[in-house]
Chain A
Amino acid sequence: MSRNHRVACVALVAAGILVAACGSDTKSSTTASPTTAVAGAAGAATTAAGAATTTAAGSATTAGGSATTAGGAATTSGAGSTVTTTGSTNADGSPAALVDGKIPCTQQYKGKTVTLFSSIRDTEADQLVAGYAAYEKCTGIKVEHEGSGEFEAQLKVRIDGGNAPDVALIPQPGLMADLARAGSLVAQPDLGQYVKDNYLSGYDQIGSVDGQFYGTPLSANVKSLVWYNPAKFKEKGYTIPTTLDELKALSDKIVADGGMPWCAGIESGTATGWPVTDWMEDFMLRLEGPDVYDQWTQHKIPFNDPKVKEVADAVASYLKNDKYMLGGVKSIAVTSFQNGGVGVADGSCYLHHQGSFYSVFFPKGTTVGPDGTVNWFYLPTKSASDPKVILTGGEFMAITKGNDRPEVKDTVLFMASADYVNAEVQLGSRLSANKHMDINLIKSPQDREVAKLLQSSDVARFDGSDSLPGAVGSGTFWKQSTAWIVGASTDEFLSNVEKSWPKS
């Protein structure tokens, strides 16, 4: 026995020595890894730099086309030289300046670090990071990104603990508004002006709280899509509907032909029910228009207003219709949103309403496009002549209190600029609402179509449930719509959400 004790004791001491050795060892390896990372990024940097130059040429023409606005926007510093500086490059091919000359490449931020915190992980995070390699090379700065699945909770912990990231990439304007009103964020009027000049209309408003601009948009994804199976459509001779009535008629025709028109899934852990909110928002925009939509999200009309009920009834005619839904209505509450639309690929259903991001959930080998396994069409407006409304989602870059240093502001400016946006679209499917996003640079044809839809829209509105107060937008709206799908009446659903609205 005592021998065993001695062995254990020796083992513990050995472990201690081991960790001491490991500690110094890993220290050297952590110092080594940035170099490899930089080496890896350097490869990307050259392509990005190449991209930057091509876009510079491209945007030079656009700038020329709207020379007056560009000149008007960049009055602050060297407006005249803007276009020329952007186009010029150093001897080694790297750009001499970024963002139309607003950020010179003089290694001015060497040794400085900016930290980003987001909910973006995995492949998407790699694309996000690869996109700013050119900026790091240009200014000598180090940008550190950390993505977390517990972003919302963790952001609050870090801010309360005095350990806030420099920039928080917040996907919910509602959460951003809470943080801004609590004084945890710093207003950025300069960036607000930049967004107003360079983004689709309405984006500077989404990023503002009580008239102050906080959130600079990063990416934009499109929600108003319907996925379908082109081969099955061709086989049956169906056509793409251009009005909501045609969509209804198509659904009925599929039923008459013995098929299952729709499939859906709304299960998503604690967020179960959110896909229903997208249905509600899309139909609200189409049936009542953007003005009523704004009144609804700002609670200027009650949640159980007759107009909202009308929208809910329209949604119910699809989602709560046993004849339309694969597996019956109740099954969609227990089907995960990831699996909700896979039936489109194998032909067990014809239509699925979900955002552009859904393409990653189709089984491996699924191709997207008019000749592919699946494709999408724009969820039609009420009548073909209505303005083209579109529902979007995405992240906003907010600078936290005490961290509005020049290098942090420039990092946000760069990540909002066409230089970054156009590097991103070549790497993957992270689109932006920046007007200077060059659609021709987008790698996949499917993403190019989504981008075209985004830029051709007449009115863009941000995902309403993300703009509502947290208690409703990520609370009762989800829960009550799940209860509604499972059996509660429309009146119960709407008045329960109305009752839960925070008093203020």
Chain B
Amino acid sequence: MTAVTVPSGAAGAGAAATAVIAEPRSRRISSWLRSSPGKVTVWALVFLWTIPTFGLLVTSFRPENKIKSTGWWTFFKPGDYQLTIKNYTDVLNAKTSNGDMGKYFLNSIKIVIPGTLLPILIAALAAYAFSWMRFKGRDWLFIVVVGLLVVPLQMALIPLLRLFTTGVHIGSVTVFPAIAGSSSFDFLKSNPVQAWIAHACFAMPLAIFLLKNFISSLPSELIEAARVDGAGHLRIFWKIIIPLSVPALASLAIFQFLWVWNDYLVGYVFAGGNNAPLTVRLVDLAGSRGEDWQRLTAAAFLTMVVPLAVFAALQRFFVRGLVTGAVKG
């Protein structure tokens, strides 16, 4: 897992550096960064941050006996130069004794997309309500929601699991149906529905907090004008709030995407067996007694591909996302 977090950490450092450049107040720092000693320092840091990931990449292409006997840097020694893609073919091979990573890759996608869109939609609606709808106890309710940020998700695992297995019944009325282990719906079995709900729940406090900050800072004239023209709440939400909050929504989506993709615990508890995500598969690849750990480097690289691509493609939103939550005040 550390291997997976390293690049995002490195990227985070790079992003922070760019954010600093964009900030007019810290012009002195940015001009120092553009000077040659500054550039040398930044590149040195980038180099240091990247070494572990680079080592991982090199290792993933080395043959098993080399991985197990020498460090990856010996790869560059003359005469020790050996490349293979066997580790990759091993982990992608669709047999249980090997990787079958392709199937789990798809599982991860099945978890990550609803696990990102669902909480953002709900949080956006809630943030709108907290910002622009007047009702009694609004501020208290908001404080409670934000206060939930301090509740560790590990505490909620077993209660949530019980909710899924038994459901909620008041008398003979079913408030929430039992969705785990029920054979009546194939959809519930072949899709990680429990993981979607769990991810949506756990993302809620932070998402509402960030979006409320953004949405409440939108100019009130726009919303009042729409109201005068006869638009209801739903219309205002879809036609005005959503288009204007795209930067905040997109940055939150990236955070949530990376979090869900890299998540192990929730996926492990709520999407076991055939629906398990890549991270869960990665842990089990080494075999019962850890005898096949040479596969881990190649498998770790495969799990990193998507977060890296997402980050590279949507870097701009990522940077703005860091600023969105922070500068408000």
Contact = CB atoms under 8 A, between A and B. Distances in A.
Interface of A: 4-5, 8-9, 12, 15-16, 18-19, 22-23, 26-27, 30-31, 119-126, 129, 144, 146-150, 154, 157-158, 160-163, 338, 357, 360-361, 363-364
Contact of A147 (B284, B290, B292): B284
Contacts of B283: 149-150
A360 B289 contact: yes
B58 interface: no
B288 A122 contact: yes
B64 A364 contact: yes
A162 B162 contact: yes
25 contacts: A5-B250, A8-B314, A9-B246, A15-B113, A16-B113, A16-B117, A19-B113, A26-B190, A27-B187, A27-B191, A119-B288, A121-B284, A121-B288, A122-B285, A123-B97, A124-B288, A125-B97, A144-B273, A146-B273, A154-B268, A154-B269, A161-B162, A163-B181, A360-B289, A361-B291
Nearest to B64: A364
Nearest to B180: A163
Nearest to B160: A161
Given A16-B117, A147-B284, A338 B290 contact: yes
Contacts of B285: 122
A147 B110 contact: no
B210 interface: no
Dominant secondary structure of chain A at its interface with chain B? helix
A75 B290 CA distance: 45
A360 B272 contact: no
Contacts of A357: 289
Contacts of A27: 186-187, 190-191
Given A4-B316, A12-B250, A160-B161, 6 more contacts: A125-B96, A129-B96, A147-B284, A154-B268, A162-B162, A364-B64
B158 A123 contact: no
Given A9-B246, A12-B117, A157 B158 contact: yes
B153 to A, nearest CB: 13
A26 B106 contact: yes
B157 interface: yes
Given A12-B253, A26-B106, A150-B268, A161 B65 contact: no
Given A163-B161, A163-B165, A30 B274 contact: yes
Nearest to A127: B97
Given A5-B247, A19-B109, A146 B161 contact: no
Contacts of B273: 144, 146
B122 to A, nearest CB: 15
Nearest to B189: A30
Nearest to B275: A30
A162 B166 contact: yes
Contacts of B68: 363
A193 B187 CA distance: 42
A126 B291 contact: no
Contacts of B191: 23, 27
A27 B185 CA distance: 12
Interface string B268-284: 11001110000000011
Nearest to B257: A15
Given A19-B110, A19-B114, A150-B268, A30 B288 contact: no
B161 A147 contact: no
B38 interface: no
Contact of A26 (B110, B164, B247, B316): B110
B134 interface: no
B95 interface: yes
B9 interface: no
Interface string B241-273: 001001100100100000000000000110011
B183 to A, nearest CB: 8
Interface in B149-200: 157-158, 161-162, 164-166, 180-181, 186-187, 190-191
B65 A364 contact: yes
A161 B161 contact: yes
Nearest to A15: B113
Nearest to B250: A8
Contact of B292 (A22, A122, A146): A122
A344 to B, nearest CB: 16
Contact of A146 (B250, B253, B272): B272
A28 to B, nearest CB: 9
Contacts of A158: 161
A166 B292 CA distance: 29
10 closest A-B pairs by beta carbon, nearest first, are A161-B161, A122-B287, A162-B165, A19-B113, A5-B246, A126-B97, A123-B97, A8-B250, A146-B273, A160-B158
A18 B292 CA distance: 35
B317 interface: yes
Contacts of A15: 113
A158 B314 CA distance: 38
- Chain A CB within 10 Å, residue with most, of B162, B247, B290, B317: B290
Contacts of A157: 157-158, 161, 269
Contacts of A18: 113
Contacts of B65: 363-364
Nearest to B187: A27
Interface in B188-222: 190-191
A72 B224 CA distance: 89
A119 B290 CA distance: 12
Contacts of A119: 288
Nearest to B251: A8
Nearest to A8: B250
- Chain A CB within 10 Å, residue with most, of B157, B269, B317: B269
- Chain B CB within 10 Å, residue with most, of A16, A124, A160, A162: A162
A129 B95 CA distance: 12
B226 to A, nearest CB: 19
Contact of B317 (A8, A123, A147, A150): A8
B123 to A, nearest CB: 15
Nearest to A337: B289
Contacts of B290: 338
Nearest to B194: A163
Interface in B90-138: 95-97, 106, 109-110, 113-114, 117
A332 B312 CA distance: 45
Contacts of B317: 8
A361 B113 CA distance: 40
B279 to A, nearest CB: 12
Contact of B287 (A4, A22, A123, A163): A123
A118 to B, nearest CB: 9
Contacts of B272: 146
B114 to A, nearest CB: 7
A157 B65 CA distance: 38
Contacts of B96: 122, 125-126, 129
